[in-house]
Chains A and B, each alone.
Chain A
Amino acid sequence: MSDVSNSAGSTDSTGSTGSALHCTSCGRPSSECAGCGRELDPPRFCATCGTRLAVRVSPAGYIGRCKHHGEVARS
Protein backbone atom coordinates (compact mmCIF):
# COMPACT_ATOMS: atom_id res chain seq x y z
CA MET A 1 0.00 0.00 0.00
CA SER A 2 1.00 3.60 -0.45
CA ASP A 3 3.13 5.52 1.95
CA VAL A 4 1.59 7.68 4.58
CA SER A 5 3.14 10.89 5.74
CA ASN A 6 2.79 12.46 9.13
CA SER A 7 4.50 15.05 11.24
CA ALA A 8 6.55 12.49 13.15
CA GLY A 9 8.03 10.85 10.11
CA SER A 10 6.61 8.30 7.73
CA THR A 11 4.69 5.14 8.23
CA ASP A 12 3.15 2.58 5.97
CA SER A 13 -0.17 0.85 6.34
CA THR A 14 1.34 -2.02 8.30
CA GLY A 15 1.95 0.30 11.20
CA SER A 16 5.72 0.05 11.08
CA THR A 17 7.13 3.40 11.97
CA GLY A 18 10.21 5.39 11.15
CA SER A 19 10.72 8.17 13.68
CA ALA A 20 7.10 7.95 14.88
CA LEU A 21 6.46 8.23 18.61
CA HIS A 22 3.52 5.84 18.61
CA CYS A 23 2.56 2.67 16.80
CA THR A 24 -0.11 3.59 14.26
CA SER A 25 -1.90 0.25 14.75
CA CYS A 26 -2.30 0.09 18.54
CA GLY A 27 -1.35 3.62 19.67
CA ARG A 28 1.21 2.47 22.22
CA PRO A 29 4.52 4.34 22.46
CA SER A 30 7.06 3.15 19.93
CA SER A 31 9.30 2.06 22.78
CA GLU A 32 6.65 -0.52 23.69
CA CYS A 33 5.50 -1.54 20.22
CA ALA A 34 7.73 -1.71 17.20
CA GLY A 35 4.74 -1.97 14.86
CA CYS A 36 2.03 -4.58 15.35
CA GLY A 37 -0.01 -3.66 12.29
CA ARG A 38 -1.33 -6.10 9.78
CA GLU A 39 -0.62 -5.75 6.12
CA LEU A 40 -4.09 -4.69 5.04
CA ASP A 41 -5.01 -2.34 7.86
CA PRO A 42 -4.88 1.44 7.51
CA PRO A 43 -3.25 3.44 10.32
CA ARG A 44 -5.63 3.69 13.28
CA PHE A 45 -3.66 5.89 15.70
CA CYS A 46 -1.75 9.14 15.37
CA ALA A 47 2.00 8.47 15.12
CA THR A 48 2.66 11.71 16.99
CA CYS A 49 0.33 11.53 19.98
CA GLY A 50 -1.19 8.03 19.88
CA THR A 51 -4.75 9.34 19.64
CA ARG A 52 -7.26 7.16 17.82
CA LEU A 53 -7.81 8.43 14.28
CA ALA A 54 -11.05 8.98 12.42
CA VAL A 55 -10.33 6.95 9.31
CA ARG A 56 -12.31 7.09 6.09
CA VAL A 57 -11.58 4.14 3.83
CA SER A 58 -12.75 4.46 0.23
CA PRO A 59 -12.33 2.06 -2.70
CA ALA A 60 -9.11 3.71 -3.87
CA GLY A 61 -7.58 5.07 -0.68
CA TYR A 62 -7.96 6.21 2.90
CA ILE A 63 -7.64 9.32 5.02
CA GLY A 64 -6.82 9.35 8.73
CA ARG A 65 -7.53 12.43 10.83
CA CYS A 66 -6.29 13.15 14.34
CA LYS A 67 -8.30 15.55 16.50
CA HIS A 68 -5.01 17.16 17.59
CA HIS A 69 -2.93 17.04 14.40
CA GLY A 70 -5.47 17.08 11.58
CA GLU A 71 -4.94 14.86 8.57
CA VAL A 72 -2.00 12.59 9.35
CA ALA A 73 -2.49 9.68 6.98
CA ARG A 74 -3.53 9.46 3.37
CA SER A 75 -3.23 6.98 0.57
Chain B
Amino acid sequence: MSDTMQPVSISPRPAPARSSRPSIDAAAARQAIRAAEVALLDERRQLTAEELDVLAHVPDESVPSLAALAHEVRLGSCGPEVEVEGILSVKTGGCPEDCHFCSQSASFDTPVKATPFLDTDEVLAAARETAELGASEFCIVLAIKGPDERTMDRIMELVPIIREDTGLNLAVSAGILTDDQARRMAEGGVHRYNHNLETARSHFSKVVTTHSWEDRQHTCELVRQNGMELCCGVLLGMGESVDQRLELLSELRAVEPTEVPINFLNPRPGTPLADAPVVGALEAIRWIAMFRLALPTVILRYAGGREITLRELQALGMTSGINALIVGNYLTTLGRTPTEDLQMLEDLHMPIGVLSKVI
Protein backbone atom coordinates (compact mmCIF):
# COMPACT_ATOMS: atom_id res chain seq x y z
CA MET B 1 0.00 0.00 0.00
CA SER B 2 1.33 3.45 -0.86
CA ASP B 3 1.88 6.04 1.82
CA THR B 4 -0.92 8.18 0.39
CA MET B 5 -3.54 5.42 0.62
CA GLN B 6 -3.67 4.36 4.26
CA PRO B 7 -6.82 2.67 5.62
CA VAL B 8 -9.18 5.11 7.27
CA SER B 9 -9.17 4.74 11.07
CA ILE B 10 -12.53 5.43 12.67
CA SER B 11 -12.82 2.76 15.36
CA PRO B 12 -11.90 3.40 19.00
CA ARG B 13 -8.21 2.75 19.59
CA PRO B 14 -7.72 -0.76 18.24
CA ALA B 15 -4.23 -1.93 19.16
CA PRO B 16 -2.32 -4.95 17.93
CA ALA B 17 -0.67 -7.28 20.44
CA ARG B 18 3.06 -6.71 20.93
CA SER B 19 5.32 -9.13 19.13
CA SER B 20 8.93 -10.06 19.75
CA ARG B 21 9.64 -10.22 16.01
CA PRO B 22 8.32 -8.72 12.76
CA SER B 23 5.86 -10.30 10.34
CA ILE B 24 7.21 -12.73 7.79
CA ASP B 25 6.91 -11.80 4.10
CA ALA B 26 4.05 -12.84 1.83
CA ALA B 27 5.99 -15.64 0.12
CA ALA B 28 7.03 -17.17 3.43
CA ALA B 29 3.43 -16.83 4.64
CA ARG B 30 2.08 -18.75 1.62
CA GLN B 31 4.62 -21.47 2.24
CA ALA B 32 3.80 -21.70 5.95
CA ILE B 33 0.05 -21.86 5.32
CA ARG B 34 0.52 -24.58 2.68
CA ALA B 35 2.69 -26.58 5.10
CA ALA B 36 0.04 -26.22 7.79
CA GLU B 37 -2.61 -27.45 5.36
CA VAL B 38 -0.61 -30.58 4.62
CA ALA B 39 0.00 -31.21 8.33
CA LEU B 40 -3.61 -30.74 9.39
CA LEU B 41 -5.59 -32.11 6.46
CA ASP B 42 -3.30 -34.74 4.92
CA GLU B 43 -1.00 -35.91 7.69
CA ARG B 44 -3.71 -35.34 10.32
CA ARG B 45 -1.24 -34.19 12.94
CA GLN B 46 -1.17 -31.25 15.30
CA LEU B 47 0.91 -28.25 14.40
CA THR B 48 4.07 -27.79 16.43
CA ALA B 49 4.71 -24.74 18.58
CA GLU B 50 7.25 -23.57 15.99
CA GLU B 51 4.74 -23.90 13.15
CA LEU B 52 2.14 -21.96 15.11
CA ASP B 53 4.70 -19.25 15.86
CA VAL B 54 5.32 -18.75 12.14
CA LEU B 55 1.59 -18.65 11.35
CA ALA B 56 1.03 -16.03 14.06
CA HIS B 57 3.42 -13.78 12.16
CA VAL B 58 1.93 -13.89 8.67
CA PRO B 59 1.28 -10.38 7.35
CA ASP B 60 -2.21 -8.87 7.46
CA GLU B 61 -2.79 -9.57 3.76
CA SER B 62 -2.35 -13.31 4.45
CA VAL B 63 -4.97 -13.43 7.21
CA PRO B 64 -7.82 -14.36 4.79
CA SER B 65 -5.76 -17.36 3.61
CA LEU B 66 -5.09 -18.33 7.22
CA ALA B 67 -8.80 -18.03 7.96
CA ALA B 68 -9.75 -20.10 4.91
CA LEU B 69 -7.52 -22.93 6.09
CA ALA B 70 -8.97 -22.70 9.60
CA HIS B 71 -12.48 -22.99 8.15
CA GLU B 72 -11.51 -26.05 6.15
CA VAL B 73 -9.94 -27.62 9.24
CA ARG B 74 -13.07 -26.89 11.24
CA LEU B 75 -15.32 -28.49 8.60
CA GLY B 76 -13.03 -31.50 8.32
CA SER B 77 -12.72 -32.02 12.08
CA CYS B 78 -16.12 -30.94 13.38
CA GLY B 79 -18.53 -30.70 10.45
CA PRO B 80 -20.76 -27.78 9.45
CA GLU B 81 -22.92 -27.71 12.59
CA VAL B 82 -22.89 -24.79 14.98
CA GLU B 83 -23.66 -25.26 18.67
CA VAL B 84 -25.81 -22.53 20.16
CA GLU B 85 -25.76 -21.73 23.87
CA GLY B 86 -27.48 -19.28 26.18
CA ILE B 87 -25.88 -18.04 29.39
CA LEU B 88 -27.32 -16.54 32.54
CA SER B 89 -25.75 -14.87 35.54
CA VAL B 90 -27.69 -16.46 38.42
CA LYS B 91 -25.65 -14.68 41.10
CA THR B 92 -24.35 -11.32 39.99
CA GLY B 93 -21.65 -9.03 41.38
CA GLY B 94 -20.03 -8.89 44.80
CA CYS B 95 -17.31 -11.31 43.74
CA PRO B 96 -14.32 -11.46 46.12
CA GLU B 97 -11.89 -12.00 43.24
CA ASP B 98 -10.15 -9.10 41.48
CA CYS B 99 -10.14 -10.16 37.82
CA HIS B 100 -9.23 -6.81 36.27
CA PHE B 101 -11.56 -7.19 33.31
CA CYS B 102 -14.68 -7.96 35.33
CA SER B 103 -17.43 -5.56 36.31
CA GLN B 104 -18.69 -8.05 38.92
CA SER B 105 -15.67 -7.82 41.20
CA ALA B 106 -16.33 -6.23 44.59
CA SER B 107 -12.82 -4.77 44.34
CA PHE B 108 -13.90 -2.18 41.77
CA ASP B 109 -16.51 0.56 41.73
CA THR B 110 -18.56 -0.41 38.69
CA PRO B 111 -22.20 0.25 37.77
CA VAL B 112 -23.11 -3.41 38.31
CA LYS B 113 -25.11 -3.90 41.49
CA ALA B 114 -24.68 -7.16 43.37
CA THR B 115 -27.80 -9.30 43.43
CA PRO B 116 -28.46 -12.60 45.21
CA PHE B 117 -29.05 -16.01 43.66
CA LEU B 118 -32.04 -15.79 41.32
CA ASP B 119 -35.24 -17.64 42.13
CA THR B 120 -35.83 -20.96 40.42
CA ASP B 121 -38.67 -19.45 38.38
CA GLU B 122 -36.39 -16.72 37.04
CA VAL B 123 -33.72 -19.21 36.04
CA LEU B 124 -36.29 -21.46 34.45
CA ALA B 125 -37.74 -18.57 32.45
CA ALA B 126 -34.30 -17.75 31.05
CA ALA B 127 -33.68 -21.42 30.22
CA ARG B 128 -36.96 -21.54 28.33
CA GLU B 129 -35.96 -18.39 26.42
CA THR B 130 -32.73 -20.14 25.50
CA ALA B 131 -34.48 -23.29 24.33
CA GLU B 132 -36.85 -21.23 22.17
CA LEU B 133 -33.83 -19.73 20.41
CA GLY B 134 -32.77 -23.18 19.20
CA ALA B 135 -29.95 -23.62 21.68
CA SER B 136 -28.84 -27.00 22.99
CA GLU B 137 -26.77 -25.72 25.90
CA PHE B 138 -27.59 -23.46 28.85
CA CYS B 139 -24.90 -22.25 31.21
CA ILE B 140 -25.62 -20.85 34.66
CA VAL B 141 -22.85 -18.60 35.92
CA LEU B 142 -22.07 -17.38 39.43
CA ALA B 143 -19.78 -14.51 40.40
CA ILE B 144 -17.99 -16.32 43.22
CA LYS B 145 -14.54 -17.67 44.04
CA GLY B 146 -16.01 -21.13 44.44
CA PRO B 147 -19.27 -22.62 45.73
CA ASP B 148 -20.01 -23.00 49.44
CA GLU B 149 -22.30 -25.77 50.61
CA ARG B 150 -25.47 -23.70 50.32
CA THR B 151 -24.57 -22.66 46.79
CA MET B 152 -23.77 -26.24 45.83
CA ASP B 153 -27.20 -27.29 47.07
CA ARG B 154 -28.91 -24.57 45.01
CA ILE B 155 -26.98 -25.51 41.87
CA MET B 156 -27.68 -29.19 42.26
CA GLU B 157 -31.34 -28.44 42.87
CA LEU B 158 -31.58 -26.36 39.68
CA VAL B 159 -29.79 -28.70 37.28
CA PRO B 160 -32.41 -31.48 37.04
CA ILE B 161 -35.30 -29.00 37.09
CA ILE B 162 -33.96 -27.08 34.09
CA ARG B 163 -32.92 -30.18 32.22
CA GLU B 164 -36.26 -31.91 32.62
CA ASP B 165 -38.26 -28.80 31.80
CA THR B 166 -36.33 -27.68 28.73
CA GLY B 167 -34.32 -30.66 27.51
CA LEU B 168 -31.21 -28.45 27.43
CA ASN B 169 -27.76 -29.66 28.37
CA LEU B 170 -26.68 -27.89 31.54
CA ALA B 171 -23.35 -26.20 31.98
CA VAL B 172 -22.21 -24.50 35.18
CA SER B 173 -19.58 -21.86 35.90
CA ALA B 174 -19.08 -21.47 39.64
CA GLY B 175 -15.38 -20.84 40.08
CA ILE B 176 -12.79 -22.99 41.74
CA LEU B 177 -13.97 -26.48 42.73
CA THR B 178 -12.82 -29.12 45.15
CA ASP B 179 -12.61 -32.71 43.98
CA ASP B 180 -15.75 -33.57 45.94
CA GLN B 181 -17.68 -30.68 44.39
CA ALA B 182 -16.60 -31.69 40.89
CA ARG B 183 -17.73 -35.25 41.56
CA ARG B 184 -21.11 -34.11 42.87
CA MET B 185 -21.67 -31.88 39.88
CA ALA B 186 -20.84 -34.68 37.47
CA GLU B 187 -23.11 -37.10 39.32
CA GLY B 188 -25.84 -34.49 39.47
CA GLY B 189 -26.04 -34.12 35.71
CA VAL B 190 -23.81 -31.14 34.94
CA HIS B 191 -22.88 -31.80 31.34
CA ARG B 192 -20.08 -29.26 30.96
CA TYR B 193 -18.21 -27.09 33.47
CA ASN B 194 -16.82 -23.71 32.49
CA HIS B 195 -13.56 -22.57 33.99
CA ASN B 196 -11.49 -20.21 31.86
CA LEU B 197 -7.74 -19.93 31.84
CA GLU B 198 -8.41 -16.42 30.46
CA THR B 199 -4.80 -15.66 29.61
CA ALA B 200 -1.31 -17.12 29.54
CA ARG B 201 0.30 -18.25 32.77
CA SER B 202 3.04 -15.63 32.30
CA HIS B 203 0.47 -12.82 32.06
CA PHE B 204 -2.06 -14.02 34.63
CA SER B 205 -0.70 -12.16 37.66
CA LYS B 206 -1.10 -8.87 35.79
CA VAL B 207 -4.81 -9.57 35.47
CA VAL B 208 -5.74 -11.44 38.66
CA THR B 209 -4.04 -11.35 42.06
CA THR B 210 -6.55 -13.11 44.33
CA HIS B 211 -5.97 -16.58 42.93
CA SER B 212 -3.36 -18.17 40.73
CA TRP B 213 -3.27 -19.54 37.22
CA GLU B 214 -2.43 -22.89 38.82
CA ASP B 215 -5.68 -22.74 40.84
CA ARG B 216 -7.55 -22.48 37.58
CA GLN B 217 -5.57 -25.22 35.91
CA HIS B 218 -6.25 -27.52 38.88
CA THR B 219 -10.01 -27.03 38.62
CA CYS B 220 -9.81 -27.74 34.89
CA GLU B 221 -8.11 -31.04 35.70
CA LEU B 222 -10.77 -31.93 38.30
CA VAL B 223 -13.54 -31.25 35.79
CA ARG B 224 -12.14 -33.76 33.32
CA GLN B 225 -11.13 -36.30 35.95
CA ASN B 226 -14.70 -36.37 37.21
CA GLY B 227 -16.18 -36.95 33.78
CA MET B 228 -17.60 -33.55 32.87
CA GLU B 229 -16.78 -31.86 29.60
CA LEU B 230 -14.38 -28.99 30.16
CA CYS B 231 -15.25 -25.58 28.77
CA CYS B 232 -12.11 -23.50 29.12
CA GLY B 233 -12.13 -20.05 27.58
CA VAL B 234 -9.85 -17.15 26.92
CA LEU B 235 -10.11 -13.38 26.96
CA LEU B 236 -7.96 -11.64 24.37
CA GLY B 237 -7.00 -7.98 24.57
CA MET B 238 -5.74 -7.65 28.14
CA GLY B 239 -2.26 -6.46 27.15
CA GLU B 240 -0.87 -9.91 26.42
CA SER B 241 1.77 -10.24 23.71
CA VAL B 242 1.75 -12.47 20.63
CA ASP B 243 4.19 -14.78 22.40
CA GLN B 244 1.82 -15.00 25.36
CA ARG B 245 -1.10 -15.87 23.10
CA LEU B 246 1.02 -18.67 21.65
CA GLU B 247 1.87 -19.74 25.19
CA LEU B 248 -1.85 -19.77 26.00
CA LEU B 249 -2.53 -22.04 23.02
CA SER B 250 0.01 -24.49 24.33
CA GLU B 251 -1.49 -24.33 27.83
CA LEU B 252 -4.98 -24.88 26.46
CA ARG B 253 -3.84 -27.95 24.60
CA ALA B 254 -2.52 -29.34 27.87
CA VAL B 255 -5.85 -29.01 29.73
CA GLU B 256 -7.68 -30.76 26.86
CA PRO B 257 -10.92 -28.77 26.74
CA THR B 258 -14.01 -29.88 24.89
CA GLU B 259 -14.95 -26.27 24.32
CA VAL B 260 -12.99 -23.03 24.09
CA PRO B 261 -15.01 -19.81 24.22
CA ILE B 262 -13.12 -16.86 22.72
CA ASN B 263 -13.87 -13.57 24.42
CA PHE B 264 -12.51 -10.21 23.33
CA LEU B 265 -12.11 -7.54 25.97
CA ASN B 266 -15.08 -5.21 26.18
CA PRO B 267 -13.55 -2.60 28.53
CA ARG B 268 -15.87 -2.14 31.49
CA PRO B 269 -16.27 1.18 33.30
CA GLY B 270 -14.69 1.17 36.75
CA THR B 271 -12.37 -1.77 36.15
CA PRO B 272 -8.57 -1.48 35.85
CA LEU B 273 -8.92 -2.34 32.15
CA ALA B 274 -11.59 0.29 31.50
CA ASP B 275 -9.32 2.25 29.16
CA ALA B 276 -7.61 -0.69 27.47
CA PRO B 277 -7.65 -0.60 23.66
CA VAL B 278 -9.95 -3.06 21.97
CA VAL B 279 -8.68 -5.83 19.71
CA GLY B 280 -8.87 -4.85 16.05
CA ALA B 281 -11.21 -6.77 13.75
CA LEU B 282 -8.54 -8.25 11.47
CA GLU B 283 -6.44 -9.22 14.46
CA ALA B 284 -9.46 -10.97 15.95
CA ILE B 285 -9.94 -12.96 12.74
CA ARG B 286 -6.25 -13.87 12.76
CA TRP B 287 -6.51 -15.23 16.30
CA ILE B 288 -9.77 -17.06 15.76
CA ALA B 289 -8.01 -18.84 12.92
CA MET B 290 -4.95 -19.48 15.09
CA PHE B 291 -7.09 -21.06 17.82
CA ARG B 292 -8.74 -23.37 15.29
CA LEU B 293 -5.41 -24.36 13.74
CA ALA B 294 -3.94 -25.10 17.18
CA LEU B 295 -7.06 -26.87 18.47
CA PRO B 296 -8.63 -28.55 15.42
CA THR B 297 -11.27 -30.61 17.20
CA VAL B 298 -12.55 -28.31 19.94
CA ILE B 299 -15.86 -26.54 20.01
CA LEU B 300 -14.64 -22.99 19.37
CA ARG B 301 -17.28 -20.59 20.58
CA TYR B 302 -17.88 -16.95 19.81
CA ALA B 303 -18.38 -15.30 23.19
CA GLY B 304 -18.29 -11.81 24.69
CA GLY B 305 -16.88 -8.76 22.95
CA ARG B 306 -17.39 -9.91 19.37
CA GLU B 307 -19.90 -7.14 18.72
CA ILE B 308 -17.35 -4.52 19.82
CA THR B 309 -14.34 -6.06 18.12
CA LEU B 310 -15.75 -7.44 14.89
CA ARG B 311 -18.79 -5.27 14.30
CA GLU B 312 -19.95 -6.09 10.73
CA LEU B 313 -17.34 -8.82 10.30
CA GLN B 314 -18.97 -11.34 12.63
CA ALA B 315 -19.87 -13.66 9.75
CA LEU B 316 -16.20 -13.74 8.80
CA GLY B 317 -15.39 -15.30 12.18
CA MET B 318 -17.81 -18.10 11.38
CA THR B 319 -15.72 -18.92 8.31
CA SER B 320 -12.42 -18.62 10.21
CA GLY B 321 -12.83 -21.54 12.59
CA ILE B 322 -15.73 -20.73 14.91
CA ASN B 323 -18.34 -23.48 15.26
CA ALA B 324 -20.39 -22.36 18.24
CA LEU B 325 -21.80 -19.17 19.66
CA ILE B 326 -23.44 -17.63 22.66
CA VAL B 327 -26.78 -16.36 21.47
CA GLY B 328 -28.43 -13.22 22.77
CA ASN B 329 -27.19 -11.37 25.81
CA TYR B 330 -24.19 -12.07 28.02
CA LEU B 331 -23.89 -11.98 31.81
CA THR B 332 -24.14 -8.24 32.38
CA THR B 333 -23.96 -6.81 28.86
CA LEU B 334 -26.14 -7.16 25.81
CA GLY B 335 -25.39 -9.04 22.63
CA ARG B 336 -26.86 -8.46 19.23
CA THR B 337 -30.31 -9.89 18.71
CA PRO B 338 -30.71 -13.67 18.42
CA THR B 339 -32.47 -13.08 15.11
CA GLU B 340 -29.32 -11.53 13.65
CA ASP B 341 -27.19 -14.50 14.70
CA LEU B 342 -29.69 -17.08 13.52
CA GLN B 343 -30.01 -15.25 10.19
CA MET B 344 -26.22 -15.24 9.89
CA LEU B 345 -26.12 -19.03 10.35
CA GLU B 346 -28.87 -19.50 7.80
CA ASP B 347 -27.08 -17.27 5.30
CA LEU B 348 -23.88 -19.28 5.80
CA HIS B 349 -25.73 -22.63 5.42
CA MET B 350 -24.55 -23.66 8.87
CA PRO B 351 -27.11 -25.84 10.65
CA ILE B 352 -27.56 -25.66 14.41
CA GLY B 353 -26.42 -28.87 16.06
CA VAL B 354 -25.20 -30.50 19.24
CA LEU B 355 -21.46 -30.92 19.34
CA SER B 356 -18.95 -32.83 21.39
CA LYS B 357 -15.22 -32.92 20.99
CA VAL B 358 -14.05 -35.31 18.32
CA ILE B 359 -11.63 -37.68 20.01
Contact = CB atoms under 8 A, between A and B. Distances in A.
Contacts of B329: 57-62
Interface in B117-153: 118, 122, 125-126, 129-130, 132-133, 135
A27 to B, nearest CB: 8
A34 interface: no
B328 A59 contact: yes
Interface in A9-41: 13, 25-27, 40-41
Contacts of A60: 129, 132-133, 328-329, 338
Interface string A34-75: 000000111011000000111111111110000000000000
B111 A59 contact: no
A57 B334 contact: yes
Contacts of B269: 26
A55 B89 CA distance: 10
Given A40-B307, A41-B333, A59 B338 contact: yes
Given A40-B308, A44-B111, A54-B115, A59 B334 contact: no
B280 interface: no
A56 B115 contact: yes
Of the four ranges (under 10, 10 to 19, 20 to 34, 35 or more), the interface on chain B belongs to 20 to 34
Interface string B17-46: 000000000000000000000000000000
B113 A58 contact: no
B213 interface: no
Contacts, number: 73
Contacts of A42: 332-334
Contacts of A45: 111
Contacts of A27: 111
A52 B331 contact: no
B86 interface: yes
Contacts of B335: 40
B68 interface: no
B263 to A, nearest CB: 14
B246 interface: no
Nearest to B329: A57
Nearest to A45: B111
B327 interface: yes
Contacts of A41: 111, 333-334
Given A40-B307, A40-B308, A57 B113 contact: no
B6 to A, nearest CB: 27
Interface in B306-355: 307-308, 327-335, 338
Contacts of B113: 44, 52-55
A47 to B, nearest CB: 14
A13 B111 CA distance: 14
Contact of A59 (B133, B266, B308, B332): B133
A59 B327 contact: yes
Given A60-B329, A60-B338, A62-B334, A25 B307 contact: no
Contacts of B106: none
B88 interface: yes
B47 interface: no
B356 to A, nearest CB: 22
A13 B337 CA distance: 13
A1 to B, nearest CB: 6
B86 A59 contact: yes
A13 to B, nearest CB: 6
B69 interface: no
Give 4 closest A-B pairs by Cβ, nearest first.
Answer: A59-B328, A44-B111, A59-B86, A58-B126
9 contacts: A41-B333, A55-B92, A55-B113, A56-B115, A57-B332, A58-B88, A59-B328, A60-B129, A60-B132
Given A40-B334, A44-B112, A59-B327, 9 more contacts: A42-B332, A44-B113, A56-B115, A56-B118, A57-B332, A58-B125, A59-B126, A59-B329, A60-B132
Interface of A: 1, 13, 25-27, 40-42, 44-45, 52-62
